[in-house]
Structure 1
Amino acid sequence: MATNHKVRVLVWLRRWSKRDWAIAISVFAVIIFALTLTLSLNSFSDDSYSPSPVDSTADDIVDLTLLRKAKSRGALCLDGSVPGYHFRKGFGSGSEKWLLHVEGGGWCDTTESCSFRAGTPLGSSNYMERRISFSGILSSDPLQNPDFFNWNKVKLRYCDGASFAGHPETELKTGNNLFFRGQLIWEALMDELLSVGMSRAKQALLSGCSAGGLATLIHCDDFRQLFPKDVAVKCLADAGFFLDEKDVLGNYTMRSFYHNVFTLQSLAKSLPKECVEKMEEPSECLFPHEIIKNIKTPVFLVSPAYDWWQIQNVLIPGTSDPHGYWKKCRRSILKCDPSQIEILDGFRKSFLRTLSDFQKKTDGGMFINSCFAHCQTWLTETWHSFNSPRLNNKTIAESVGDWYFNKRVVKQVDCPYPCDPTCIHVDFS
């Protein structure tokens, strides 16, 4: 009986196509990471923090380095531990080129959710993996990462809960022994990387995923200021363009959440001064559509128009669906009925309207596909592989490379779901 069962399983597995396997592997990675990060509801976490995608090779295993002068500078994670990063030295023609990738992982907006986070890799280096695998945009394989494979590559671990933008002014008010030092962490990380060779960079790219994508936008111009004017410096935000949209019940859930993060961790000094001074509600300056108005450095935006994280937390947060009407659709766009797709399409249209001014920027780039996805640069399957999503027959990696090296103008926007057969849709059901 057991033998017959095994035979049936083998037959079933052999029927899978190469693309079926690619989708299964990518979805498995996302689900494992999401389950690993079961933070409180107010923490707005996501799966993208995980540093161990399943598609890396042994050659891309990179050790954790703890920040050397962190304690003397007061640059500490939420729990007071020392922040860290992973550094893979470049080689050949990439020895004087630097690519930084900021880890994602949501935010915390209350002392309770920050205290919980302080006991996870997103709030403490005590829980971070000591060795992680680099893949996607961090891969050292030229077949997986054609333009950046031999660059110096750094993954910045995220442990402050506010996109490296927090300040310690409110620490004593919480009474929870929490450290809000995101800005200090950022500055200390940059200084250490400059001291180990980044100061000699001829080209540099700051990238980040999700909350790390937001951090990339916040610090993009600061990053540019670290280098001489003749150094080519650009920024790439992956799934970091969060919308200030009403949820399906008409509430500004994300706006309220960002207000709490802004207030709790005193973010004002890390956000554009022009915005903070003129806005009636300064916390709204945390939204990318406000930040990007002031960025002078060239920026590339990678984003799915049907970002599953934003659908689940901005458009349809759990509290907005008490009767479970959206339950299946929130987990998989394949399970949405026509009326639900119409609402998701409205969210997509709002996203594209928000990007209308950015589209006019001559030095900006975009890759906006219609996949039910979130971060797409950190996994090889979605960054650059035989099965990767494509627009105009270009992968994300190829599009980013064309933009960074000024090969052509890259402003790619996909048609609405379900027209794109190259999409790898995450399915949580």
Structure 2
Amino acid sequence: MKWYLLWVLSLWTLAFIDLSRSEYSFEELIAEESFLSYLDEEAVSPGANCLTVPLTLIPGAVCLDGKPPGYHLLSGFGLGANSWVIHLEGSGWRNNIRTCVFRKTTRPGSSKFMEKQLNFTGILRNKPEENPGSYNWNRVRVRYWDGDSFAGEGYDEANELYFRRKRIWSVAMEELMSKGMSNANQALLSGCSAGGLAFILHCDEFKALFPATTKVKCLSDAGLFLDATNVAGGRTLRDMYEGVVTLQGVQKNLPSRCTSQKDPTSCLFPQNLVSNIKTPMFLLNATYDAWQVDQSLISSIADPHGLWHDCKYPHSPIETVVYKFLFRSLPIRDAATWYENDLVVEARQLQCLSQIGSLTEHPLKLLTAQRTNL
């Protein structure tokens, strides 16, 4: 299957790029920023057999390089004319000046380099046989322009870097409300990977946009990034998040219910956030998240001699045993106690299942008409 092959390619590419390090070679930066994930590949491929949706730029906010941000909107029709699904794109994080300076010259950092047309896949598809729950809704994909999960607020004058992701979120929501979302009878906020974390940060804020009569729910896909110990005993992802919080001014936009009790870096981890979210949520994650294995648990900085190298990839001889050791002892085991939310942990090592191909291809068939109906 096309998406499976693309995912395998994406996983092998990630093996050579370690996001936990503070320094990249120029070649690594080029490879990492120009690489299309299996999701992006389907979204930008001219032969993806999906409806192509143009980019709309938004005034009032800026990307990392100062250019305007944007979104893709496909209007709903029929019974879905007053229903909305807003998808927050993901594209990792940036925790130092050097990587941010490079990113502003690439597709995730500037609308100047971003695709002007995008295919709508997964939960955004317009075919009822492939997306029975929301094929006729108003569907929006908000692009990811810097590297802070829609939470940054700051400016680096020396390098002309605009950390205005929180402002992008605000003006995007204002724009969509003016486009008719204010009249929605039901609305779903979704996000994938870093966008899935953004969803967790903004779920209640999204709910507050609407009157009490509007049914609002949130879907986090592959957003359960864990404050886990790597194979060397360190905390790769925590170190990265600490840099993001410090560099991009994220602290001021983190939930006060968390920061009043924990340090700001801890308040980027979903395990410390979801219990305080009041809006109904649906959490979807792979049992063994391929990205977290490669970039957090068995990063090259944690395993410089490659002793765990063969354990990173699907179908390796000891993969199952190792992944159970790495993941089943992590905080995800406590997810059932997180408020009254739905949690589905998919056995496959994939990210962003709600954005892959046809929703009816999934073993879970998780976003059928019954699931998506708010």
Kindly report which structure 2 residues correspond to 1:20-419, keeping only aligned pairs within 5 A, or say none. Answer: 22=1, 24-28=2-6, 31=9, 41=19, 42=21, 47=37, 50=40, 52-53=42-43, 58=49, 60-67=51-58, 69-70=59-60, 75-168=61-154, 171-172=156-157, 175-279=158-262, 281-330=263-312, 332-337=313-318, 341-349=320-328, 350-358=330-338, 361-362=339-340, 364-381=341-358, 383-385=359-361, 388-390=362-364, 395-398=365-368, 401-405=369-373
Q: Deviations over 1:168-216 (max 9, x none)?
A: 1x534xx211000011000000000011111111100000100000011
Separation in structure 2 between the aligned mates of residue 209 and residue 328 of structure 1, nearest angstrom: 27
| CA pair 405-49 structure 1, distance change in 2 beyond 3 A | closer
| CA pair 37-126 structure 1, distance change in 2 beyond 3 A | farther
The structure whose residues are more often helix, as a share, is 1
Contact 1:213 1:239 in 2 (8 A): yes
User: 1:116: how far off?
Assistant: 1.4
User: 1:294: how far off?
Assistant: 1.5
| CA pair 56-229 structure 1, distance change in 2 beyond 3 A | farther
> Which one-letter code corresponds to 1:102 in the other structure?
L
| CA pair 309-33 structure 1, distance change in 2 beyond 3 A | closer
Larger of the two Rg values belongs to structure: 1
Contact 1:47 1:105 in 2 (8 A): no
Q: Identity over the aligned pairs, expressed in percent? A: 38
Q: CA RMSD in A?
A: 2.5
| CA pair 254-32 structure 1, distance change in 2 beyond 3 A | closer
User: 1:135: how far off?
Assistant: 1.1
Alignment gaps of 5+ in structure 1? 1-21, 407-429
User: 1:147: how far off?
Assistant: 0.7
Q: Deviations over 1:146-166 (max 9, x none)?
A: 010000000000002101100
User: 1:35: how far off?
Assistant: 5.4
Q: Deviations over 1:332-385 (max 9, x none)?
A: 220142xx5333113332243241322xx33x112111111111111125x322
Tell me the equivalent position of 2:28.
none
The runs of at least 4 consecutive aligned structure 1 residues that moved more than 3 Å come to 32-46, 51-59, 401-406
User: 1:299: how far off?
Assistant: 0.6
Contact 2:336 2:343 in 1 (8 A): no
Alignment gaps of 5+ in structure 2? 23-31
Secondary structure of 1:184's match? helix
Q: Deviations over 1:101-160 (max 9, x none)?
A: 111110000001111111111111111111110111100000110010000000000002
Separation in structure 2 between the aligned mates of residue 317 and residue 35 of structure 1, nearest angstrom: 13
| CA pair 33-242 structure 1, distance change in 2 beyond 3 A | closer
User: 1:402: how far off?
Assistant: 3.5
For normalisation by structure 1, the TM-score amounts to 0.78
Tell me the equivalent position of 1:14.
none
Higher relative contact order (CA 8 A, sep 6+): 2
Contact 2:151 2:250 in 1 (8 A): yes
